[in-house]
Amino acid sequence: MAHPKFRAHRPLIMGRRGAVASNHPVATEAGMAVLRAGGNAADATVAVSLTLGVVEPHMSGLGGDSFYHAWHAASGQGSTYNGTAPAPRLATVERYKAAGGIPNHGPLSVQTPGMVAGLAALHAAHGSMPWARLVEPAIEAAQHGFAATHALRHFCEENRHRLEPNALSRAIFLPDGAAPPLGALVLQPALALTLRRLAEAGAEDFYRGALARALSAAMQAAGALADAQDLAGVQARIAPPICVPYRDFELRQTPPNSMGFAMLQMLRILEQFDISTMEWGSAALIHLMVEAKKRAFLDREAHAGSEHPPLEMLLSAQRAAEHAAMIGPRAAHLPVRGLAEADTTYFCVVDAAGNAVSAIQSINSSFGSGVMAGESGILLNNRMSYWHLEEGHANTLRPGRRVRHTMNAPMLMRHGRPWLVFGTPGADNQVQVNFQVLVAMADFGMDPQQALEAPRWSSSQPGQESNWPHGGGDVLTLERGIGEAVAAELRGLGHGVKIVGDLEGPCSVEAIRILDNGVRMAASDPRRDGWAGAW
């Protein structure tokens, strides 16, 4: 039942046979076309993923990384596909310390791309349509162009410093020295040729074929550390999701090196409290959720990035009770050992058979490194900036190891089946905004569009920031719609409150709620270019 106190502005999109929600209308339509043509959720995921890399070039692409969390209805099994790659062999702590640290853009910020490997592993396991057919929408968007949106223009202008040093990036995203005009067609012919090669030769070619050789040469020419040997070593990780119970639900998440376990901890801590008497958006509930987030982030910082984080302990009822006992009536100020400038894209798909995919992919910061890999048209990530350089930290840089990721792809289950497929981009904000959406729907009865449009908060702690040098402030950011009375009460509880405008908070959530009668409710966040479709 819809929450009576909050009215969404966008319509809730509903259908019986399938749904797609992504951060761009062109990508959503690519996925919907695959579903209408008889493809399944994995097939639609390939089409949406590759198309997003074209139409949201500032968020993801072939030069980035990903996680895909799939539910297979016939077998009743879930699995995750990790499309992140290890640090290059030549990327050492000593090299970066000698350079004064890890740069946030430029060639030395580039880590080996892993997204294509994760996507191909998902398709190999669950796809039903030919790979080449699923690459076609992305080729079309790259070859013939897509219309520049307000969001794209904003990111182009905001990231001039990242794009201008690279002539190839500058030519596409800053034509005539400025962001493309609204509605102008953004053409990427070199990327279209690469995508066509990927369609014909398959994902293996990206890592161990002609595409790999060309990409390696281009990265080397640009000054990046990753090379052909690093590409050849990339393999997707396939693993079951990790999970915790929450009331009469089960939340499933992507396992490490994803930091999705922090969201699981937040729910475990919250479950120690009776929130049934609290109002949604009240200072009491926000305070409790923020403090749960702070406690979980202490464990995130201590353990995320280690080869084998102690998940059994971290996700135990005992650990949740220990954290809950430390939450008092006033705000705690807990430096973890700020909010990172990082950009990602999220989407979700549910098909007619009930198969579902929760998907997230990224090139880290807006436009990643800003470096385009030669004539490939591939914009390279800046994921090296997620590493730490101090010895003894769980996330200390080691060649051949995977860095920890804020990316996570949750799925909320009920009675053994998906109840909500949802997620968001947003670096350190991801798990805490996902946390709010889940509680709004599972505990307070909001429909997905209400939950996505509801005013949100985000908490930062000193040392929390994911990008090097890992700073961060001590602030609780509230969207204006939460209300001045609540903000004043939170200040009185000791929170350092900052107010931003309506819909100016972080993240861009996409969600599909699956009803018992088979109806799929698809919702999309208005904070970016998101669009939901169902049929």
Q: CA end-to-end span of the chain, whole Å?
A: 22
Q: Give residue 338's pLDDT band: very low, low, confident or very high (50, 70, 90).
A: very low
200 lies in a domain? yes
* Residue 127, pLDDT score: 98
7 lies in a domain? no
Domain count of the fold of the chain? 2
32 lies in a domain? yes
Q: Give residue 337's pLDDT band: very low, low, confident or very high (50, 70, 90).
A: low
Q: Give residue 470's pLDDT band: very low, low, confident or very high (50, 70, 90).
A: confident
Judgement on whether residues 504 and 382 belong to the same structural domain of the protein: no
Which residues are known catalytic residues?
344
CA–chain centroid gap for 372, Å, is 22
Judgement on whether residues 63 and 99 belong to the same structural domain of the protein: yes
Of 239, 241, 284, 282, the C-alpha closest to 263 is 241
Higher per-residue confidence, 468 vs 97: 97
* Residue 138, pLDDT score: 98
158 lies in a domain? yes
Angle at 371 between CA 159 and CA 47, to 5 degrees: 90
Judgement on whether residues 148 and 17 belong to the same structural domain of the protein: yes
Could you read off the pLDDT of 311-335 as tens digits, one per residue?
999 999 999 999 999 999 999 988 8
Judgement on whether residues 366 and 305 belong to the same structural domain of the protein: no
* Residue 1, pLDDT score: 37
Judgement on whether residues 73 and 32 belong to the same structural domain of the protein: yes
Cα-Cα-Cα-Cα dihedral sign, residues 91, 93, 95, 99: positive
> In the predicted model, what is the mean pLDDT of the chain?
95
Q: Quick one: average pLDDT of 277-286?
A: 97
Contact 43, 50 (CB under 8 A): no
Could you read off the pLDDT of 78-99 as tens digits, one per residue?
999 999 999 999 999 999 999 9
The H-assigned helical ranges of 280-372 are: 283-303, 311-314, 317-325
257 lies in a domain? no
328 lies in a domain? yes
Examine the pLDDT at 340 and tell me if it is beyond 50: no
Q: Quick one: average pLDDT of 272-283?
A: 96
At 498, list the tokens: 């900052």
Judgement on whether residues 481 and 470 belong to the same structural domain of the protein: yes
Q: Which residues of 137-154 are buried (b: 16+ CB within 10 A; e: fewer)?
A: bbbbbbbebbebbebbbe
Q: Give residue 497's pLDDT band: very low, low, confident or very high (50, 70, 90).
A: very high
Could you read off the pLDDT of 232-248 as tens digits, one per residue?
999 999 999 999 999 99
CATH code of the domain containing 456: 1.10.246.130
Could you read off the pLDDT of 199-230 as tens digits, one per residue?
999 999 999 999 999 999 999 999 999 999 99
Cα–Cα distance for residue pair 120/126, rounded to 1 Å: 10
Q: Give residue 466's pLDDT band: very low, low, confident or very high (50, 70, 90).
A: confident
**For 384, which DSSP code?**
G
Judgement on whether residues 44 and 83 belong to the same structural domain of the protein: yes
452 lies in a domain? yes
Judgement on whether residues 78 and 168 belong to the same structural domain of the protein: yes
Which percentage of the chain shows pLDDT scores above 70?
A: 98
E strand intervals along 156-224: 185-186
Could you read off the pLDDT of 138-160 as tens digits, one per residue?
999 999 999 999 999 999 999 99
Contact 396, 308 (CB under 8 A): no
Of 516, 522, 535, 347, the C-alpha closest to 417 is 516
Judgement on whether residues 223 and 311 belong to the same structural domain of the protein: no
Q: Which amino acid is at 458?
A: S
Domain of 219?
A: 13-236+344-386
Q: Give residue 6's pLDDT band: very low, low, confident or very high (50, 70, 90).
A: confident
* Residue 307, pLDDT score: 83
Q: Give residue 4's pLDDT band: very low, low, confident or very high (50, 70, 90).
A: low
Examine the pLDDT at 493 and tell me if it is beyond 60: yes
